[in-house]
Amino acid sequence: MREPRHAVPAVDFQGVGRTYGGGRTGLGEVVAVDHADLKIAPGEFVCVLGPSGCGKSTLLNMVAGLDAPSKGRVLFEGAEVKGVNTKVGYMPQESKLFPWLTAEKNIEFPLRARNVPGTERKQLVSAYLAKVGLKGFENAYPHQLSGGMQKRTSLARTLVYRPSLLLMDEPFSALDSQTKMVMHEELLQLWEQEKCTTLFITHDLVEAITLADRVVVMTRRPSRIAEIVDIPLSRPRDVYAIYEQAGFDEIYDHLLRLVKKEMRYE
């Protein structure tokens, strides 16, 4: 953790549970999240691992205020999330750029929605285009960009209004392993610069170790937190040499054991 323990957590899941269906919905009841207690410190990078369907996206949706807990509370910077939380940057699992807007206009979109004045908008868009290495592609439409460039545009669109919390739901899962490493490097650089608390969902153990201060491993549904694993690797991290870092193998084996256990469906 990078902040003193007494700081108000950026995110605080207090006895959170989320059940879907039942009642008049005609669907059987699904306990997605049974119980989650988790405090995330300001500036911390936390990754969440867990089997498909265990409620990882549900947890992010509750922080973003797009979903609400059935029990317990979700606090953002000390206040209970009620309704859409406009202070967070959210890259949802099915994050899509607007196909009819250029890279530049996509990045500008959230600033327009917030009525940021024109000159400031221009400066911010230009700065964030540069930060994610997209100078020269301002006027390209999403279909003219590679998968990695589309993710970069998406990341710039999420960061441009400088949210204090970044929620990322498997943002790089569709990318090839080299592009993924480039994205990791860029994301970590941005995170160091912006000091943005980050909650990042992944199924990729190496990605979690590369990025996180702590990794939260969820059980299968009805899910609970199986274990929270500290990643004590030094920073700044060399994403291309992460396997060579002392301690990597032990952390990887430990995470793999935890994840494997939760993958068995009996």
Give me the residues that bind ligand ATP (CB under 6 A), please. 20-21, 30, 32, 50, 52-58, 93
Residue 30 near which of ligand ATP, Mg ion, none (CB within 5-8 Å, type-dependent): ligand ATP
User: Residue 92 CB: number of other CB atoms within 10 A?
Assistant: 18
Nearer Cβ to ligand ATP (125/201): 201
Minimum Å distance from CB 233 to ligand ATP? 25
Nearer to ligand ATP, 106 or 198 (CB): 198
Residue 53 touches which member of Mg ion, ligand ATP, none, C-beta under 5-8 Å by kind: ligand ATP
Q: How many residues bind Mg ion (CB under 5 A)?
A: 2
In angstroms, give the least distance from the CB of 58 to ligand ATP.
Answer: 3
Closest of 137, 175, 173 to residue 156, by C-alpha:
137
CA distances from 242 to 43, 178, 203, 251 (A): 21, 14, 17, 12
User: Which is nearer to Mg ion, 93 or 179 (by Cβ)?
Assistant: 93
Contacted entry of Mg ion, ligand ATP, none for residue 58, CB cut-off 5 to 8 Å set by kind:
ligand ATP
Q: How far is the CB of 157 from ligand ATP (least distance, A)?
A: 21
How near is the Cβ of 144 to ligand ATP at its closest, in Å?
29
Q: For ligand ATP, which is the closer residue by CB, 218 or 229?
A: 218
Q: What is the DSSP string of the chain?
A: --S-TTSPPSEEEEEEEEEES-GGGSSPPEEEEEEEEEEE-TT-EEEEE--TTSSHHHHHHHHHTSS--SEEEEEETTEE--S--TTEEEE-TT----TTS-HHHHHHHHHHHTT--HHHHHHHHHHHHHHTT-TT-TT--GGGS-HHHHHHHHHHHHHTT--SEEEEESTTTTS-HHHHHHHHHHHHHHHHHH--EEEEE-S-HHHHHHH-SEEEEEPSSSEEEEEEEE----SS--GGGGGGSTTHHHHHHHHHHHHHHHH---
Query: Residue 43 or residue 51: which is nearer to ligand ATP going by CB?
Result: 51
Instruction: Fill in the per-residue mask, 63 to 102: x = in contact with Mg ion (CB under 5 A), - = not in contact.
Output: ------------------------------x---------
Q: Using the minimum distance from each CB to ligand ATP, give the nearer residue, 43 or 55.
A: 55
What minimum distance in Å lies between the beta carbon of 92 and Mg ion? 9
- Annotate each residue in 29-68 with x if it binds Mg ion (CB under 5 A) or - if it does not, as one string: ----------------------------x-----------
Residue 82 Cβ vs ligand ATP, minimum distance, rounded to whole Å? 18
Bridge partners for 31 per DSSP: 19
CA neighbor of 11 nearest in space, from 90, 70, 94, 110: 90
Q: Least distance from C-beta 68 to Mg ion, angstroms? A: 17
Residues that bind Mg ion (CB under 5 A): 57, 93
